[in-house]
Amino acid sequence: MFKHDWPVPKNVNIAFTDRHDGISKPPYDSLNLGLHVGDVDTDVLANRASLKRQLNLSAEPFWLEQVHGIHVADLSNSQNNQADGSYSNQTGNVCVVMTADCLPVLLCNQAGTEVAAIHAGWRGLCNGVLEAGVAKFKSASNELTAYLGPAIGPKAFEVGVEVREAFINESVQAEQYFQISGKKYLADIYGLAIQRLNHLGVTQVYSANECTVSNSNYFSYRRNNRTGRQASLIWLDE
């Protein structure tokens, strides 16, 4: 688990897993939580059951079929799991996203009555997945807090010119988060996300700044290609 000392409302819980303390075999060793990566299904389900016990969850997390889009499911009225985020204002719903370099963003209002988990790969981030997530909240955006989990770091995230241009076309201020690297660019996905959140009015942001590529405690698609998925979860107390 990623350890943090961030302030969290007393009736909100957050958790970020790493790759340890599961039963999956290489190259998915060991706490792989993704059923879509080629691992043995029974091992993944055992890992999920172990996580549920470890976190003392009363309900199964709402596992998504993530598609790098911008749809955020409202768990109070939708069971469609093809989404890149989920929102809840009810106890008993556990919002979760899986990543292996993409940025996980957990959101809650400071009153501790609304939560969301967002999967922010570069496509979703550029196209507005954070905006879609914030829009689910009844609370004003300046009453929200964001927690950014482990993701690919700015020294490892090499992208083409088309990625840079896509972000700059959305906001010229995004240019500062791209550094030239030969014929490509190094992108700061944390910086890009914080810029988007701040523009929305979410200014209370806590960031792990843990690079999944350079830190082998985490799964990284960029580093290993065939690999597992870690999870980021947020839920309201019963």
For the segment 42-94, what is each residue's pLDDT rounded down to a tens digit?
A: 999 999 999 999 999 999 999 999 999 999 999 988 778 999 999 999 998 99
Percent over 90 (pLDDT), the chain: 95
pLDDT band at 217 (very low <50, low <70, confident <90, very high): very high
Dihedral angle sign, alpha carbons of residues 78, 80, 81, 85:
negative
Provide the token pair at 220.
């990284």
Q: In the block, which residue shows the tokens 């809650």? A: 108
**CA–CA dist 117, 115 (Å, integer):** 7
| 149-166 tens-digit pLDDT | 999 999 999 999 999 999
The DSSP H or E segment spanning 87 is strand 85-88
Predicted pLDDT at 49 = 98
The DSSP H or E segment spanning 194 is helix 189-200
Distances (CA, A) of 235 to 96, 152, 198: 9, 25, 23
* Confidence check: pLDDT of 132 > 80: yes
- Average pLDDT over the chain, rounded to an integer: 96
Predicted pLDDT at 202 = 98
pLDDT band at 5 (very low <50, low <70, confident <90, very high): confident
* Confidence check: pLDDT of 95 > 90: yes
Closest by CA to 73, choosing from 60, 87, 62, is: 87
* Confidence check: pLDDT of 238 > 90: no
CB-CB contact of 131 with 200 (8 Å):
yes
CB-CB contact of 230 with 110 (8 Å):
no
* Confidence check: pLDDT of 2 > 80: no
**CA–CA dist 100, 111 (Å, integer):** 31
Distances (CA, A) of 122 to 14, 55, 109, 186, 187: 23, 29, 25, 12, 9
pLDDT band at 3 (very low <50, low <70, confident <90, very high): confident
| 20-41 tens-digit pLDDT | 999 999 999 999 999 999 999 9
Quote the distance between the C-alpha of residue 185 and its chain's center: 23
Predicted pLDDT at 25 = 98
pLDDT mean over 221-234: 97
Predicted pLDDT at 77 = 85
CATH dotted code for 12-236: 3.60.140.10
Q: Cis before residue 9, ω within 30 degrees of 0?
A: no
pTM, two decimals, is 0.96
Q: In the block, which residue shows the tokens 């996203």? A: 97
**CA–CA dist 88, 94 (Å, integer):** 8
